[in-house]
Amino acid sequence: MNKLTIIKPDDWHLHLRDSHFMEAVVADSARQFGRAIIMPNLVPPVRNCADALAYRQRICSALPHGSPFNPLMTLYLTDNTSVDDIKAASESEFIYGAKLYPAGATTNSDAGVTDLKKLGPVFESMQKHGLILQIHGEATGPEIDVFDREKVFIDNSLSAIRASFPGLRIVFEHITTSEAVTFVRDGDSNLAATITPHHLLINRNALFRGGIRPHHYCLPIAKREHHRLALLNAATSGEASFFAGTDSAPHSEQAKESACGCAGIFSAHSALELYAEAFEQQNSFTHFETFMSRNGPDFYQLPHNSTTVSLERKSWMVPESLPYPESRLIPFMAGEALQWKLCQDD
Ligand code: DOR
Ligand code: ZN
């Protein structure tokens, strides 16, 4: 097989940043994806409808002329999010969820939630109004080993949220462990998970290959090989509860290559090709379209995109760097060869 044509995919988890930083990256996503859930962890965060609609407007203005790319917005939950914020969001045609960052879990999460128990009324309202909860599923206690944070979050928090709000529709974002795969598989149709291309392609050894590799540092951090294999198995299975979400998260070269480097991997430049590389490893494209283009819209109760994209089998090299304001952006797998290339003529 040398050519793959699939329904145009969507990215169900994307960081675009803002202003000229956003302008440097938005075209990459628009080239490959029909829609994307736009993460709200700006500074200050996207807390309410007015913030989300203004941010959406800025994204649309930064898109290449005539691009059909549709940014789907989500609110950033804080200790002060109100049920009125949730109701208003659920009535907006542009807002598709609310994102839970446990405070301190990751980049720009300081304004996140400090006590999940206080969010009861908000979860109740989301359940009632059908607004999707996207979760950064990591426990934050300083005593918890960084590689255990996802599992501890499942055991100590996610299980309880699911039990208390069984009708709440949840996307467990960027899962990294076999425990998360099992938890989602054991769940019902109100629970799904996104999987990133980097967690499909690298394990934690990649962070230390020949020295410390800051461009492989993201949160949740990559885990052991058997976890990666569980993710690959889930993504290629065709099961309805797993779909693509890149978590592409641009940081300048300086911010990554620093004594305290930022978490985040920029994959938007070659996202679709990276996912194809992962499916190629499994030697199975049977469910590629299902994972990339069907399961996500089905969970979000949106139509599939009406156009297609094609990939051809053709070796090419990911650029060593990309332009970024006052700096450069080092894309995931910079300087390495990929086997599938997006066709430009669709
Ligand atoms: O690695 C990450 N980077 N994980 C996140 O959860 C946030 C993201 C970012 O915004 O840079
Ligand atoms: Zn993210």
Is the confidence at residue 1, as pLDDT, over 90?
A: no
Is the confidence at residue 255, as pLDDT, over 90?
A: yes
Q: Is 248 helix (H, G, I), strand (E, B) or coil?
A: strand
Q: Is the pTM of this model over 0.85?
A: yes
Q: What tens digit of pLDDT does each residue of 88-107 get?
A: 999 999 999 999 999 988 88
Query: How big is the CA angle at 177 (ends 174 and 183), to the nearest 5 degrees?
Result: 90
CA 65 to CA 61: how far, in whole Å?
9
CA quadruple 70, 246, 241, 338: dihedral sign: positive
DSSP letters of 81-142? --HHHHHHHHH-TTEEEEEE-BTTSSTT-TTSBS-GGGGHHHHHHHHHHTPEEEE------T
Q: Is 323 helix (H, G, I), strand (E, B) or coil?
A: strand
How much is the pLDDT for 345?
62
Nearest CA to ligand 1 atom 2: 264
Confidence of residue 64 (pLDDT cuts 50, 70, 90): very high
Confidence of residue 344 (pLDDT cuts 50, 70, 90): confident
What spacing in Å lies between the alpha carbon of 263 and ligand 1's midpoint? Answer: 6
User: Mean of the per-residue pLDDT values for the chain?
Assistant: 97
Q: What tens digit of pLDDT does each residue of 30-63 get?
A: 999 999 999 999 999 999 999 999 999 999 999 9
For the sheet with 308-317, list strands across it: 3-7, 308-317, 337-342
Using a pLDDT cut of 90, give the percent of the chain over it.
97
Nearest CA to ligand 1 atom 3: 264
DSSP letters of 193-244? EEE-HHHHH--GGGGGTTS--GGG--SSPP--HHHHHHHHHHHTT--TTEEE
Confidence of residue 276 (pLDDT cuts 50, 70, 90): very high
What spacing in Å lies between the alpha carbon of 286 and ligand 1's midpoint? Answer: 30
> Do the beta carbons of residue 103 and residue 114 sit within 8 Å?
yes
What spacing in Å lies between the alpha carbon of 160 and ligand 1's midpoint? Answer: 25
Mean pLDDT for 299-312 is 98
Domains of the chain: 3-345 (3.20.20.140)
- Which ligand places an atom closest to the C-alpha of 262? 1
The ligand 1 atom nearest the CA atom of 262: 11
Is the confidence at residue 148, as pLDDT, over 60?
A: yes
The neighbour count for residue 210, using CB atoms within 10 Å, is 5
How much is the pLDDT for 346?
53
How much is the pLDDT for 196?
99
- Whether 115 is catalytic is no
How much is the pLDDT for 6?
98
User: Which residues line ligand 1 at a C-beta cut-off of 6 Å?
Assistant: 15, 41, 106-108, 136, 218-219, 249, 263-264
Question: DSSP character for 266?
Answer: -
Confidence of residue 342 (pLDDT cuts 50, 70, 90): very high
Mean pLDDT for 330-345 is 94
**Catalytic residue chosen out of the listed positions 148, 247, 298, 346:** 247
How much is the pLDDT for 106?
86
Q: What tens digit of pLDDT does each residue of 199-224 get?
A: 999 999 999 999 999 999 999 999 99
Is the confidence at residue 80, as pLDDT, over 80?
A: yes
The ligand 1 atom nearest the CA atom of 15: 10
Q: Is 45 helix (H, G, I), strand (E, B) or coil?
A: coil
